Structure 1
Amino acid sequence: MPTIVELIIVDLKEGVGKDDATLKKLREGAAKGGLKRQSYGLSIEHPSKLYWALFFENGFELKDFKWPAEEYGSFADQLKTVSTSDFTRYFVTFDDVPSKITDAPVTETAIATLKTDTNVPKFKEAQDAVVAKLLSAPGVHAAAYAVTAEAGSQAVLLLLVGWDSVEAHKALRAVPGSEALLAPIHAALDKIDVAHVPFTNQA
């Protein structure tokens, strides 16, 4: 059964942490709206950038979610009070997102825009090969990816990999042959943003 991940990325105001009262309230509201699983954390590379993943899974769909506006107010307006700019959100459909990914000490969260002329099926074949290698690599807990595209927009890749540490990720990148394996992936990308996030899971 597919899992839809809503990934929200927020540049937090100075002094606002992941456990800020407003963010706690929003997570509570999301749970009351029907979500059973959320993960949130700050990027190691950019400690003021919040990554918040909401999981629509086990038959619970976007249409089933009901934000409790009367009790919690406007979701967007509340989030804007703790952010320096408009937040970014992605809705991506995965075959599955094992909890081991966000249970890991750190989760690689890569968001990439594919070039407009990319052959998406061939790109997925190359990405499948990369993920297969990852799953047998030391320091990797689990991995999943999905490619999505809205009508009239470029395809977007979301890759999630649970690692022992940032160092474990860097060590694998340094292994001979890694760059050659990744070459067809990188050749298809218009841009990519990679963050390492120690997620806190809320069930």
Structure 2
Amino acid sequence: MSIPTTEIIIFGASEALRNDKSILLPALDLLSQVDGVQMPAYIGLQIEDPAIGYVFLNWDSREHHEAAMAAPSHGPLRELLKPAFTSPGKKYHVIFNSDHPIQVVLQQPVTEVLLVTLKDPSYRAEVSDLFIKFKESAKKMLMFGPTLEDENLMFLVIGWESVEAHLEAVTRPELQAPMERLRTLVNREHVSHTTLTPLPMKGAVDSEGY
């Protein structure tokens, strides 16, 4: 059975990409012709450090992505991506636990990206329970799941109105004990905020020119 899978790439963003995300359009146009890909892709720069970029790309299944990697078009696609990347970055694949499509979260004004490693595999169920509690505090704009590369490496993607809204939320008294417990169960590997742009966009160019 095909299970929707999200590919996440965290990479070094070139100055050209920082100035104009539309430089990715030729690559995305080629990618849109691949079987099993769900366009648009979601592209963003880290708010804390714009030299770090993110790509969220949804696939009908991991098998569709693997077939795309083996296709003749993969070589030309990599060439088209070169102007946007200063490093190949790290690539992950995640099947998110959610009752709605991940696009709902990715379309929020700010997306928090959190990557954690379980300190022990036996903590998986408890960590998942904590994430579910956090989901209620995040107005259900939270999705999580283990990476397919390493089930002890887990992604959380959380949609917020702003960075300030996130910082305010984590000060709530009811979250202090669960957050402290989580710190004893996982190591944080990556945490940041980004604003994601869907590319290619339908219709008119948006207000920032891409």
TM-superposed deviation, 1:94: 1.5
Q: Aligned letter for 2:44?
A: G
Match of 1:109 among 106, 113, 116: 113
Q: Aligned letter for 1:135?
A: K
Conserved? CA contact 1:113–1:192, under 8 Å: yes
Matches within 5 A, 1:111-126: 111-126=115-130
Alignment correspondent of 2:206: none
Alignment correspondent of 1:173: 170
SS in 2 for 1:32: coil
Q: Distance in 1 between matches of 2:182 and 2:30?
A: 38
Q: Distance in 1 between matches of 2:81 and 2:102?
A: 27
Alignment correspondent of 2:135: 131
Q: Aligned letter for 2:115?
A: I
Q: Aligned letter for 2:17?
A: V
TM-superposed deviation, 1:116: 3.5
Q: Distance in 2 between matches of 1:111 and 1:80?
A: 25
Match of 1:192 among 185, 189, 192: 189
Conserved? CA contact 1:108–1:162, under 8 Å: yes
Alignment correspondent of 2:26: 25
Conserved? CA contact 1:2–1:94, under 8 Å: no
Alignment correspondent of 2:63: 63
Alignment correspondent of 1:84: 86
TM-superposed deviation, 1:114: 1.8
TM-superposed deviation, 1:192: 3.0
Conserved? CA contact 2:16–2:84, under 8 Å: no
Q: Distance in 2 between matches of 1:31 and 1:41?
A: 18
Greater shift, 8-17 or 37-46, is seen at 8-17
Using structure 1 for the length normalisation, give the TM-score: 0.81
Q: Distance in 2 between matches of 1:200 and 1:165?
A: 15
Q: Distance in 2 between matches of 1:79 and 1:133?
A: 37
Conserved? CA contact 2:8–2:55, under 8 Å: yes
Unaligned runs of 5+ in 1: 137-141
1:40 aligns with 2:43: yes
Unaligned runs of 5+ in 2: 201-210
Using structure 2 for the length normalisation, give the TM-score: 0.78
Conserved? CA contact 1:2–1:95, under 8 Å: no
Alignment correspondent of 2:144: 145
SS in 2 for 1:47: coil
Count the aligned residue pairs. 192
TM-superposed deviation, 1:193: 1.4
Q: Identity across aligned pairs (percent)?
A: 22
